[in-house]
Structure 1
Amino acid sequence: MLRRKLNQLFVKIFVWFWCMLLLVVAVVIALPTLDSRVMRQLDPRSVSILNSIAHNIARSAERYPNIPLQVLITPKEAQTKNFYLVRMNGDIISSSKASKAIRRFILQSEESPQPKVKQYKNWLMTGPIPIKLRGEPFQLYAAQQLPAEHNIWLINVLDRPFLLLFITMFVSMPLCASLAWHISKPLQKLQRTAAEITDGNLDAVVPATQRQDEIGELARSLRTMMFSIREHISLQHRLLSDISHELRSPLTRLKMSVALSKRHYGETKEILRIDTESQRLEEMISALLNLSKTQLNATNKESFNLDSLLQPICDDAIFEAEQLDKSFSHQSIPDLNIKGFPALFGSAIENVIRNALRYANQQVHLAIRSDTDKITFVITDDGPGVPEDEIEQIFKPFYRVSQARDRESGGAGLGLAITENAIRQHHGKIVASNRETHGLQITISIPIS
Structure 2
Amino acid sequence: MLSSKLNHLFVKIFVWFWCMLLLVVAVVIALPTLDSRVMKQLDPRSVSILNSIAHNIATSAERYPSVPLQVLITPKEAQTKHFYLVATNGDIISSTKTSKAIRRFILQSEESLSPKVKQYKNWLMTGPISVVLRGEQFQLYAAQQLPAEHNIWLINVLDRPFLLLFITMLVSMPLCASLAWHISKPLQKLKKTASDITDGNLDAVVPATQRQDEIGELARSLRTMMLSIREHISLQHRLLSDISHELRSPLTRLKMSVALSKRRYGETKEIMRIDNESERLEEMIAALLNLSKMQLNATTKEPFNLDSLLQPICDDAVFEAEQLGKTFTYQEIPDVDIKGFPALLGSAIENVIRNALRYASNQVNLAIISDIDQITFVITDDGPGVPDDEVEQIFKPFYRVSQARDRESGGAGLGLAITENAIRQHHGEIAASNRETHGLQISITIPIS
TM-score (norm 1): 0.98
Q: Deviations over 1:352-374 (max 9, x none)?
A: 00001111111110000111111
Contact 1:70-1:95 at 8 Å conserved across structures: yes
CA distance in 2, matches of 1:155, 1:315: 84
Task: State the alpha-carbon separation in 1 of the partners of residues 104 and 392 from structure 2.
Answer: 91
| Cα displacement (A) at 1:405 | 2.6
CA RMSD of aligned residues (A): 1.0
Which deviations, in whole Å up to 9, do the C-alpha atoms of 1:243-264 show, x marking residues without a partner?
Answer: 0100000000000000000000
Cα distance in 1 for residues equivalent to 2:396 and 2:40: 86
Distance 1:418 1:95 in 2: 106
Shifted more, 116-125 versus 143-152: the winner is 143-152
Deviations for 1:163-213, whole angstroms, at most 9, x for unmatched residues?
111112222222211111111111111111111110011111111111111
Number of corresponding residues: 449
What aligned pairs does 1:308-323 form with structure 2 within 5 A after superposition? 308-323=308-323
The equivalent of 1:13 in structure 2 is 13
Once residues 364 and 124 of structure 2 are traced to their aligned partners in structure 1, the CA distance between those partners, rounded to angstroms, is 98
For 1:73, the equivalent position in structure 2 comes to 73
Secondary structure, aligned partner of 1:216: helix
Separation (CA, whole Å) in 2 of partners of 1:146 and 1:330: 90
Query: For residue 352 of structure 1, what is the amino acid of its counterpart?
Result: V
Structure 1 residue matching 2:393: 3-state secondary structure:
coil
- Looking at structure 2, the residues matched to 390 and 270 of structure 1 have their Cα atoms a distance apart, in angstroms, of 33
Correspondence list, 1:300-315, <5 A:
300-315=300-315
Match for residue 196 of structure 1? 196
User: Aligned ranges for residues 343-382 of structure 1 at < 5 Å?
Assistant: 343-382=343-382
Partners of 2:432 and 2:180 lie apart in 1 by 47
The separation in 1 between residues aligned to 2:375 and 2:194, in whole angstroms, is: 25
The AA in structure 2 aligned to 1:19 is C
Q: Which position in structure 1 is the counterpart of 2:294?
A: 294
Aligned to 2:118: 118
1:433 aligns with 2:433: yes
* Counterpart for residue 162 of structure 1: 162
Structure 1 match to 2:401: 401
Quote how far apart the aligned CAs of 1:89 are.
Answer: 2.3
Residue in 1 that maps onto 2:177: 177
1:87 aligns with 2:51: no
SS at match of 1:212: coil
Q: Deviations over 1:91-119 (max 9, x none)?
A: 21100001111111111111212211100
CA deviations on 1:284-313 (whole Å, 9 max, x unpaired) are 111111122222220112221111111111
Please name the residue that 1:414 is paired with: 414
The one-letter amino acid paired with 2:249 is: S
Query: Is 1:262 the counterpart of 2:259 in the alignment?
Result: no
Distance 1:180 1:418 in 2: 45
Q: Deviations over 1:25-79 (max 9, x none)?
A: 0010011001000011111221122112112111211111110000010011111
Select between 277-286 and 288-297 the one with higher mean Cα deviation: 288-297
Q: Which is further off, 8-17 or 18-27?
A: 8-17
What is the letter of the counterpart of residue 430 of structure 1? I
Question: What SS does structure 2 have at the residue aligned with 1:408?
Answer: helix
What's the % identity of the aligned pairs? 88
Write the deviation string for residues 127-164 of structure 1: whole angstroms up to 9, x where unpaired: 11122211222111100111111111111111111111
| Contact 1:8 1:212 survives alignment (8 Å) | yes
| CA–CA separation in structure 1 for the residues paired with 2:152 and 2:433 | 78
Give the aligned residue type for 2:182: H
Question: Is 1:332 aligned with 2:332?
Answer: yes
> What letter matches 2:302 in structure 1?
E
Contact 1:88 1:138 in 2 (8 A): yes
* Distance of 1:446 and 1:23 partners within structure 2: 53
Distance in 1, Cα, partners of 2:238 & 2:410: 30
In structure 1, distance between residues paired with 2:68 and 2:237: 114
1:2 CA drift (Å): 1.5
Counterpart CA distance in 1 for 2:390 and 2:64 is 123
158-167 or 374-383: bigger deviation: 158-167
* TM superposition shift of 1:410: 2.7
Q: Deviation string for 1:364-387 (max 9, x for gaps)?
A: 100001111111100001111112
The question of 1:187 aligning with 2:191 is answered no
Structure 2 CA distance, aligned partners of 1:389 and 1:131?
112
Cα distance in 2 for residues equivalent to 1:222 and 1:114: 70
For residues 272 and 112 of structure 1, the distance between their equivalents in structure 2, rounded to whole angstroms, comes to 124
Q: Secondary structure at the match of 2:376?
A: strand
What secondary structure does 1:209 align onto? coil
Runs (4+) off by over 4 Å: none
Partner of 1:210: 210
* CA distance in 2 between partners of 1:131 and 1:153 (Å): 37
How far apart are 1:418 and its partner, in Å? Answer: 0.3
Deviation for aligned residue 1:407: 2.9
2:127 is matched with 127
Q: What letter corresponds to residue 248 of structure 2 in structure 1?
A: R
* 1:331/1:367 contact within 8 Å kept: yes
Which secondary structure state, in structure 1, belongs to the residue aligned with residue 409 of structure 2?
coil
SS at 1:240 equivalent: helix
What is the alpha-carbon distance in structure 1 between the residues aligned to residue 404 and residue 12 of structure 2?
A: 66
**Partners of 2:405 and 2:233 in 1: CA distance:** 34
* Letter in structure 1 aligned against 2:119: Q
Q: Which amino acid aligns with 2:263?
A: R
Q: Please give the per-residue CA displacement for 1:195-232, whole angstroms capped at 9, x wherever unaligned.
A: 11100111111111111111111101110110011001
Asked whether the 8 Å contact 1:294–1:421 carries over to 2, the reply is no
Q: Which moved more, 1:82-91 or 1:234-243?
A: 82-91
Q: Equivalents in 2 of 1:275, 1:398: separation in Å?
A: 20
- Partner SS for 1:391: helix
More displaced 10-residue stretch of structure 1: 302-311 or 18-27: 302-311
